Amino acid sequence: MTTKPHLITESNLSTAWARAFLHAHDGANDTLVVAIRDFDGEIPSQDKIIATELDKRLSLLAIPKIDHTALTIVPYDKWLREGKISIEELTTWYLESMLPRLKARCTKNRRGTYFERLVSYSGVNSKGGKQEVRTVNQLAHVINLWKKKASNPKPSRPRQSALQLACFDPAKDDNGSPLLGFPCLQQVSFTYHEKGTLEVNAYYPKQYLFDRAYGNYVGLCQLGHLVAHSLGVKLTRFTCINASPEVGTKVNDSDFIDLLRSYVSENSAETNE
């Protein structure tokens, strides 16, 4: 049977996540596209009650809370506290100070983090008939490429196909393990439409809606804000493609499910049309 991708479009991150989670909880497993649009702030707004109630349940199940998951994508709070420092400064601090602590604190980080892959991705480069291992700060590359185009005598923006950042590395990750755990996020890309705007897109071959998705959405939007600020533009859109959505840890909390259903009924843009 052929099924169409399921599209969720909201302006509030909590509403988008609640709808996505309930879609999977109710048994659907078709490709899920979550699009957050028309938000006023630097990143999409959230509902504190929904985030707090989710965090309570994640904590009880010994699953990383929202902010902990978001931290694997970008050290956003550190960036804000240090006055929105450059990506190069943030990278140095992260690789030398934060990453060793993260790996020591949690065995799930032993193979690395998403931010590590974004700022320190290694691969083989063939040059002059020789092969050499090269490490690339993908975030810095995208930011500097954009700025270089913008500073030309005839300002322009880089081709959108150049604004891609890889997380999955076949050399490291194709190891035959039946359950890898990391990385679930395959790729991040940036796009643009209107002048002075930036959009962030993410692709997951599989994503757990209860365990990880909320923190993933938060971290990716924070990453988008960091890049947008570095470029002097505004983050305007976030899109997440989940090819094979699953709930993840089974949720038997009827009070929580009822809360989400009521919240979606009252707040979803689709429900209120």
Output the pLDDT for position 47: 97
**If pLDDT is split at 50, 70 and 90, which confidence band does 36 have?**
very high
CA distance 35 to 32: 10
Output the pLDDT for position 164: 93
Neighbours of 263 (CB within 10 A): 19
In a domain, 176, yes or no: yes
In the predicted structure, residue 239 carries a pLDDT above the cut 80: yes
Output the pLDDT for position 175: 64
Neighbours of 252 (CB within 10 A): 6
In a domain, 1, yes or no: no
Please compute the mean of the pLDDT values over residues 29-58 and round it to a whole number: 96
CA distance 103 to 69: 14
Q: Which two tokens stand for residue 264?
A: 């979606």
What is the rounded average pLDDT for all residues in the chain? Answer: 90
Please compute the mean of the pLDDT values over residues 227-247 and round it to a whole number: 96
In the predicted structure, residue 187 carries a pLDDT above the cut 80: yes
CA distance 181 to 108: 8
In the predicted structure, residue 56 carries a pLDDT above the cut 80: yes
- Looking at the structure of the chain, the number of domains it has is 1
Output the pLDDT for position 178: 57
In a domain, 247, yes or no: yes
Output the pLDDT for position 199: 97
Owning domain of residue 176? 6-267
**If pLDDT is split at 50, 70 and 90, which confidence band does 122 have?**
confident
In the predicted structure, residue 174 carries a pLDDT above the cut 80: no
Output the pLDDT for position 179: 57
C-alpha atoms less than 13 angstroms from C-alpha of 213 in its C-beta half-sphere? 33
In a domain, 226, yes or no: yes
- Tell me the per-residue pLDDT of 135-147, one tens digit each, with 9 for 90 and over: 889 999 999 999 9
117 sits in the region (left: phi over 0; alpha: psi -120 to 50; else beta) called: alpha
In a domain, 99, yes or no: yes
In the predicted structure, residue 232 carries a pLDDT above the cut 90: yes
In the predicted structure, residue 182 carries a pLDDT above the cut 90: no
Higher pLDDT, 112 or 67: 67
Q: Which CATH number belongs to the domain containing residue 18 in this structure?
A: 3.30.572
Output the pLDDT for position 134: 80
In a domain, 272, yes or no: no
Higher pLDDT, 269 or 163: 163
3-state secondary structure 62-97: CCCCHHHHHHCCCCHHHHHHCCCCCHHHHHHHHHHH
- ω into residue 100 within 30 of 0, thus cis? no
